A and B are shown apart, each in its own frame.
Chain A
């Protein structure tokens, strides 16, 4: 079923980006607190 295919791939990509951004944010915050 190819219905919504592009939107679904975009949704998955956005989720990955958000996750990476959140992890990067947490790491950056931890680093800032540590130093």
Chain B
């Protein structure tokens, strides 16, 4: 009986000890593999020391079609790092396994084993294989889980991108916000911005591969807000068209926009009328009046230059025929609602120049201002005395108003403008120059102005206007600034021009 007990104990020791040793070696090997993976991962991710992380993306982001910003981590960098970690950990782990596998052959590395070499080797190798297998399975599952988490995050990100873009578009549509370049008049759905740190130009800042809410510039210093509604409009925005790229007024794309083309022939008095209109609104002290302030430095400088000429009664320089930047103003109404007003002085040659594509603003406007030069009307000119004619000949338009109107409207319709849903303010300019002549002075009322034009042989012009436009109203304006009645006339013109369009017309215009 005692012999049996002793034999049993010996058998237990003979089987149990090696099994425990094998289990120990296996657990140690599994832990080593996991630790190796974690330390390799930490080093690649820069944890705890950020300097150990490799920056795979170049800081030079100037390649064609590439934005000067770092891509989102999940776009490329995460996968590159995980792949590098797997490769490094696999190579290191294989080398360590090989070293452990051959370890017992080296007699100097006998500790802590007390068995003879052959059993020791057997126990060690028997533990290494299952330990490594368990670790490989564990890490494979971990890698699959990492990839799954990454894919889920990417899918969530794509959904977020779509949702952010949709919400932004819906809010902009709801607020009736559009943005157009004041120079080329292309629609600017996403302006480009310059990094305040390095001046790099970010072509299209929108939720996407470079970030959902923020993107980091390639210079590494600046984090730029991405959706316009998060504050992109506080940065200096530029036209996104590579051929244009001019700076947009502040808040472009954040507040509703109004486009007002001022049409008319050369020397009709467009520039003078626009300047007088702007100065009247700027200097108005009425609480109920519309208030204008320049939206950019270009407009402020141009208005300041023109104001001197108009106030002094001097002739303004002819507006150049080449595409010009619009006058941009912030327009604040009685309800304190701000809008961005682009006033286009067309250079007087819109009807003649078919090659300047910036004329696309004609498609955007739903209110037009057409300036009629009374001196270019034959009967009016003929009624002036020879002295008066000699005096005013330099200020007389070269073509009759009807010719200018036909050319302008034809061009607008070619460009797809729907004039039937648009309004037209027809302004008889230089009305004060006709005072004291044999003519009856130009009346100040809408209907009587129209009748006066018809009496002067312009019935075909007024009929065309009524036929083409949904709504037409006639005004007069003086060639020289000053006087309460002139200011009141301009105020009423401004109120009519800049009144909030009703929904139907605006919707129709936004479809164009």
Q: Do A and B come from one complex?
A: yes
With A14-B149, A15-B38, A19-B34 as known contacts, state yes or no: A3 contacts B141, CB within 8 Å: no
Q: How far is the CB of B349 from chain A (nearest CB, A)?
A: 52
- Mostly, the A contact residues are helix
Which of B50, B74, B149 is the one whose CB lies under 8 Å from A2?
B50
- Mostly, the B contact residues are helix
With A12-B45, A12-B47, A15-B38 as known contacts, state yes or no: A3 contacts B142, CB within 8 Å: no
Residue on B with the closest CB to A9? B47
Provide the residues of chain B in CB contact with A26, threshold 8 Å: 138
Provide the residues of chain B in CB contact with A18, threshold 8 Å: 141-142, 145-146, 149
B220 interface hit (Cβ, 8 Å): yes
Number of interface residues of B (CB under 8 A): 26
B73 interface hit (Cβ, 8 Å): yes
A28 interface hit (Cβ, 8 Å): no
Total A-B pairs, Cβ < 8 A = 60
Number of interface residues of A (CB under 8 A): 19
Which of A11, A16, A22 is the one whose CB lies under 8 Å from B78?
A11
Which of A3, A9, A19, A21 is the one whose CB lies under 8 Å from B55?
A3
Chain A positions 1-35 with a Cβ under 8 Å from a chain B Cβ: 1-5, 7-9, 11-12, 14-16, 18-19, 21-23, 26
With A15-B41, A19-B142, A22-B138 as known contacts, state yes or no: A4 contacts B73, CB within 8 Å: yes
Q: How far is the CB of B141 from chain A (nearest CB, A)?
A: 5
Chain B positions 144-193 with a Cβ under 8 Å from a chain A Cβ: 145-146, 149
B45 in contact with A9 (CB, 8 Å): yes
B47 in contact with A3 (CB, 8 Å): no
Provide the residues of chain A in CB contact with B149, threshold 8 Å: 14, 18
B142 in contact with A4 (CB, 8 Å): no
- Chain B CB within 10 Å — which of A1, A2, A8, A18 has the most? A8
Query: Contact flags (1/0) for B35-47 with A, using CB distance below 8 Å?
Result: 0001001100111
A12 to B153, CA, bound (A): 15
Provide the residues of chain B in CB contact with A7, threshold 8 Å: 73-74, 78
Q: List 16 A-B contacts (CB under 8 A).
A: A1-B46, A1-B50, A1-B220, A2-B50, A4-B70, A5-B46, A8-B45, A8-B53, A8-B81, A9-B45, A11-B45, A11-B78, A12-B47, A14-B146, A15-B38, A19-B138
